[in-house]
């Protein structure tokens, strides 16, 4: 017996997944999903569970992290459900509830450290020099004031705390 929990559905909507309730469960999304062909991820089922407000079943599931955000499902959805936005909302809520994967944390840690998702290294620096480019790109990586500004955004939006 499943008891719908509308407060969780409302939370998904507040996080950008408001088109969720338009879904009439045709399954075009599942049939179109390249990731679902290789994993247990069934887009339609996740959308249904989200409609019913099944928080634990969605945010604790590895399935919501199998979406590559390719948008094939939302392109083909006859009800115009913004499925990638629903998945993103579920992921945001999962992360806010402490459900983070180590591989993703590493990417986030790089962002916090250098303002980019990957860091520079000696091999790349040498190649950049050889190509007539500065060793560091002219971004936050090469501008202390810009990095400090970026750090402040990371701080005030609570990202540092989120990643832990």
Tokens standing for 94? 């999962």
CA dist., res. 74 & res. 64, Å (int): 15
CB of 42 to other proteins, least distance (A): 14
Alpha helix (H) residue ranges in the chain: 6-12, 28-32, 43-51, 55-59, 72-76, 83-96, 102-114, 122-130, 144-156, 159-163
CB of 100 to other proteins, least distance (A): 8
CB of 123 to other proteins, least distance (A): 8
Nearer to other proteins, 4 or 158 (CB): 158
CB of 107 to other proteins, least distance (A): 4
CA dist., res. 73 & res. 116, Å (int): 29
121 phi and psi angles, rounded to 5 deg: -150, 170
Q: Which are the contacts of 142, defined by CB distance < 8 A and separation ≥ 6?
A: 134, 136
Residues found near other proteins in the complex (CB under 8 A): 15-16, 34-35, 38-39, 65-72, 74-75, 82, 84, 88-89, 91-92, 95, 100-104, 106-108, 111, 115-120, 123-124, 127-128, 130-133, 137-140, 143, 145-146, 149-150, 152-154, 156-159, 162-163
Nearer to other proteins, 4 or 129 (CB): 129
Nearer to other proteins, 57 or 143 (CB): 143
Nearer to other proteins, 3 or 131 (CB): 131
């Amino acid at each position: 017996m499943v008891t719908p929990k509308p407060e969780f559905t409302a939370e998904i909507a507040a996080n950008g997944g408001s088109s969720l309730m338009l879904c009439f469960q045709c399954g075009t999304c599942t049939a179109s999903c390249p990731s679902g062909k290789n994993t247990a991820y069934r887009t339609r089922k996740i959308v249904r569970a989200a409609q019913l407000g099944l928080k634990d079943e969605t945010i604790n599931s590895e399935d919501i992290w199998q979406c590559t955000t390719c948008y094939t499902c939302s392109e083909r959805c006859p009800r115009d459900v913004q499925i990638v936005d629903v998945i993103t909302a579920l992921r945001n809520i999962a992360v806010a509830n402490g459900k983070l994967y180590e591989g993703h944390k590493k990417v986030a840690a790089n962002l916090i450290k250098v303002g980019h998702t990957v860091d520079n290294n000696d091999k790349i620096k040498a190649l950049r020099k050889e190509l007539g480019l500065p060793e560091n790109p002219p971004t936050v990586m090469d501008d202390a004031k810009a990095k400090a500004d970026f750090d402040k955004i990371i701080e005030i939006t609570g990202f540092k705390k989120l990643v832990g």
